[in-house]
Structure 1
Amino acid sequence: MALLISTGIPTLMASPNSVTMPGQAVNSTSAPLAVTIANGGTGPLTVSSVALGGANATDFAIANNGCMGASVAPQGSCPVQLTFTPTAAGARNAVLTIASNAPEAPPVTLSGTGLVSDIGLGATAINFGDQKVGTQSPAQTIAVTNKGTAPMKMGATTAIGTNANEFALTDGCKDNTVAPGAGCSIGVVFMPAGAGARSAKLTVANDSGLSQNVTLSGNGTAPMVVTMPDPVTGITLREANKPQEITIINQGTASLVLGQVTVVGVPPEVGRRFQAVPACGGQLPPNGGSCKVAVTYIPAGLTDTLTCAKAALVISDEL
């Protein structure tokens, strides 16, 4: 009489049978998530392989395989830990397959989303227009936003180019991590050091992989004083206390703000014997604004003489 011994049949069960990994920044690795392989049958379960397949299999990895080669008793279990490292943005999918001595091998579907940051700028070019040399313009603000789905790490914003040192920055983005949909701002002012067209370029550093630049431009303006008579030949004062006129003309591109109009000479006492009285005050507009100045020689006394002395009219511009 033959004796029949039943060894039981293992049943492979996976929990969960569908895994959705949290959204993960592209080329970064998630924390591990576990899939539990259980034996719901009556015989020992022997796992011979655990493998990844599917469209984006390489975006998922088995971080720890506690089931490989194990003999899992009925009602027992073992863990498989998975990580997600998306190589591109958007939906990523794979399948985890477990081979064993169980009659059936239900697959575990894997999914995740690759996230990327995407920098957006409120302006790609700023023209400050005319600005008087040596003065500072009002600040212009560049809004920076993260249009992507992953946090964006900001670096330093720098100005480069021929006139980079004439544009000053207030970097409110440097070293910040900007969440999706959030933003930061960069302030820029223009301080021309010379007349004429000035330009530079801002580079906004970030980890989105997208190079972003802002073109900066402006025009430095300055007054240019011309006098009549000619400043080289000048005028000759032959009589004391009798004023002669000099016309000041602003042929520059910025207003001339009249400060002091004085006479200096060598030695200094020579200059003190002249009096210069402008017939105007305030500003001389650019491109031809003019003002007359009466210059008078005032002797120090009745017997004062001034032989072949020279002096110069000095016109100061108050910025």
Structure 2
Amino acid sequence: MQIHRIGRRWFLGGGAVAAVLGLGGLSAASAVTRPPDGTLSTTAAAPTAEVFGAYPSVSDDGRKVVFEGRPSDGSERTRTIWLRDTGAFGVPDVELTVPVDGVRIGDSVRPTISGDGCVVAMVTEMAFDLFRDDDGGDRWDVYRLVLPECGGTLGDWEVVSTQSSSDGDTRALDRVLPDEAPAMSSVGTDVTQVLGSADRVHTVAGTPLLAPNTTFRYVGQREPDVSADGRFVTFTSDAVSDDPVPDWGSGPVAGGFATSQVYVWDRWSDPVAGLEDPVVLVSRLHGVAAADGAHAPVISGNGQFIAFESSSADLAAGATLPDCGAVCANQIYRYDQVDGSVVLVSREQTLPDKPFVAADSGATQPAISDDGSQVGFVTRSHNLFATESAAGVEPTDGDIVVASVDLGLVRRASTLADGISPGPGSNAHPALSASGHVVVFDTLSANLLVGYEASGRQVATIARPARVTAPALDVGTVGVLFPGPTWYIAIRNEGPSTFLPATVESSNPDFAITGGTCALGLPVPPGQACEVHVVLTPSRPGPLRGEVVVSESVFRGTSVRTTVEGAGGEPALTPSPFSGLDFPTTVVGRSTTPISTGVANIGFAPTMISRIALAGDNPDDFVISSDGCIGYTVNPGATCSIDVSFVPTEPGYRTATVVVSNELGQYTTVLVNGTGTRVVRLDAALPSVRAGDEVGLGASGFSPGAAVSIAWADGRGESISVTASTDGGFLALFPTRPNERAGERVLVAQSGDQVAKVTVKVIRRVSSTTPGSPVWGG
């Protein structure tokens, strides 16, 4: 699809590229800097460091990255477009906007790559299509390129930003504003209408028919993004675009800028036929527009969620916001098209029943995953993490953060190699792969974050693969050649990114995959699970074993495998009820209240239970606390009961199998599971330390053998790493510098999501040449 904005009005075409075009039709607005809503101005101050890579875009699978950077030919150009294939080790980046003989050189900026990695769109001054582009006016136009692996040819750029083609006019517009990237649907090669077709370009719903005639100043419609299927288009507008007859909006002060809001347009709606409104206001709460407006929208690939920036306190819905002063800081919000809710994204990690606390220095530059469960952003806030990063020098730089919105978790992506210690806050412009398993951004600290031995601003790629668990399964005794009952394997995603199951395979055909949500390929956000349905049909008597593998198909994707077991024979026992035991989250070392389960005799004769055992992945985490089965004869149709307790030995998801056998070796199983958690603690040997001396520390509750990073919470000074002992504790001496900042300081010990803090008072070292010392000169 294509969006053309003429005089900050938009037109949408039938292709796959949504191109932002500003033609300067609103001279009062286009000649000046944009309103103070956090959007960037084309007249922004020059960067303090040379730019070799900026404004990246990443394909859905996380493999291909395009970005603007420094040209390689030594010409007077300052910006060109590069393509990086992160899966081709040692292959250099490819420059895509190479000058062509006979074409006046110019800059190329703001690239976008389609979700399928086939098409690149960008804004350029160079007239690659001399037949349609006369290289006149302001020169800037949107072009697209199909990459060679998808049937295209390098250098074969097609102009996208053409005149309205209702009369067949396909000339280039030559007046696109270069400060916004084109937006593209997932299948970038899917251009449904050819150039010159009357259906290629359409006016975007929500566009006023007349030029503004008010006392306010306008920027117009801008900042578009499009869902993966091209159905939904979100944008920023200072018109009242959701009105039946859109008109230009108003602002707080006559002569100033009108207030902008975020909208979404459903291209498939048909208001004439009585269906839903085509344009809906996004930046609202309880139907009321954000008082201070909103901007910078991004839409999830599935079209359900829209993340955006706003400084309006009324959107926070009771959350604690930082003091505004003259201007409130922007925060990141997420809108849900299904229920119309708006939730604060840039917030501290809090318990579900506690009020939200917003980022104390605000947040900007949202990015979003395809399922909308993860939202990335940039922040300089101090309250989101236990340790602070060193401040960056560019005004738009900060930490790169990815929030798992529904879980209320925020994780810093711009960390050092240990995955814990914060890198410098000199990062901007994040983009997420479809599942969020890859984050790309530009940074002045590439050498520290990803080991690039290069100076200036570079593009960094951080992998965040999903951590997925699957319990072992034992289905017990099943009749030979007869299908047994359906068993369920829960494939749990522990995050930090979404798991996208693409294949579900069984290594043994006796264990058939019969269904489950994993086989549907539906996204599994962090903290959720999909199911694999398994049925054993033994081909022979005796023990049987196989393996079930669930895999993603994306680059650097995740696979999880688990064993499945059973036996062919005459079945005599079955769980009653036919379900597992789910235990509540429990502190490591503590025991839950027992839960009872039953075992039923499904045979035709009495049977005696001879053995009950724990097996599977974590048998030591569960205890048979009461047994009413062993030694008892169970009549046909009768049951006996077993009580099981959960006593986790480690944090995380823990599973086991209760195996119940009779005297003939026939058996059944009960799946048990729970989540263990640790209470970590950090203590200092003394409440104070003199600068230059060491702080004695002791800790407990960390995972055995875990690498733990210790640093000052304010990010000053050095950090050290220690390894937790087998009981999860450690003793360490933390060095301080002779010139260490004095006062109450906080030391933080962190391993993954385990964080412990202790306050230590640092006392300034007294100089040996002060009055009263032996060398004092009087």
- For Structure 1 versus Structure 2, the TM-score category normalised by the shorter chain is 0.3 to 0.5
Which one has more relative contact order, counting CA pairs under 8 Å at least 6 apart? 1
TM-score, normalising length from structure 1? 0.42
Higher share in strand: 1
